[in-house]
Amino acid sequence: MLVTTLGDLLLDVIVRLAAPLEPNDDREARTEVTAGGQAANVAAWVAALGGEARFVGKRGNDAAGALAVRELSSHGVEVEGPVEGRTGVVVSLAESGRRSLASDRGSARELSAAELQPAWFSCDVLHRSGYALAVEPIASAAARAAELARAAGATVSLALSAATLIDDGFRARVRALAPDLVFAAERERDELGPLDARWLVKRGAAGVVVDGEPFAAVPTEVVDPTGAGDAVAAGFLVGGVELGLAAAARCCAKVGAMP
C-alpha cells in the first residue's frame, strides 16, 4: 500500500500550557519544535503503521524547511516537490486536552500544477489536505494530482481540515474533485453539505462514524490531541477503522503530531 499525500510540510511549534494564558502576563509552558503539516503528518503515520508513504508539497529553502524534511524523511517518507520561498510555521497551544492553532502556511500554498511530476502520483491512494483546496495555485495542483493519480488507478481521499476553510469556492472545488473518501469532523461535514463519497466522521472522544456506523474511541490519556485526526486517516487508509482509532489514541498520548 503506497499512499501519496499532497499539501503542507511545516514547522510545528507546540506549546503545552500549565494554565490558560493571562493577557499581558506570563505563564509556565513546555515547548517543542517538530515537523508538521496535515499532509506530512498523514504520510508519517502511514509509514509508521506499515504502509509506504510519499509526501508532495512545496517548502522553503531555509533552516525550517531543512529541519522539517529531515524529520519527515526519518520516518521513512519519500519527500518530493519544489524547494522555494519560505517554510510555514504552525503554533499549537495545548491545554487541558484542548488545542488552538495559529497557522502560517508559507510557500506551501504556492505549489502549482506545472511543478508536478506524474511519477509522484503512481500510488494506491492519493490523500489531499483540505488546505490544498483553499487557495490558488495549490488548488489547481491538487486537481491535477487527482487526475494523475486516477490515471494510475489510485483511490482519492480528502481531509476537510477546518470548518473555517469551507465557503462556496471550497465546496465547488471539492465537488469537482469528487473524492472517493472524505475525513471530516462533524462541523466540517455539516459546513460542506451533501457529497457522494464514503465518509469517516471524527467525533473526538466519542470516536468516529464510518459509512454511518459508529466506532468508539480507544481509551487513552490525552496529553496533546494535535495530529490525532491525521493518525486516524493514516490508520484507516492502511488497515481500516480499528487501526485508525488505535493510531489516534497513540497520537493523543504524546506531544506532537507525528509518530
Q: What is the DSSP string of 225-253?
A: -TTHHHHHHHHHHHH-HHHHHHHHHHHHT
Q: Can you tell me the distance from the alpha carbon of 16 to that of 251, in angstroms, rounded to the nearest whole number?
A: 15
What grid cell was written down for 119?
A: 511519477
Give rounded-to-5 percent helix, strand, coil for the chain. Answer: 40, 30, 35
Q: Are 40 and 8 in contact (CB under 8 A)?
A: yes
Write the DSSP symbol of residue 165. G
Verify whether residue 62 is a known catalytic residue: no
| Catalytic hit among 8, 12, 224, 230 | 230
What grid cell was written down for 241?
A: 477503522
Sorted by sequence, the CB contacts under 8 Å of residue 81 that are 6+ apart come out as 55, 56, 57, 58, 59, 111, 115, 120
Residues with a known catalytic role: 230
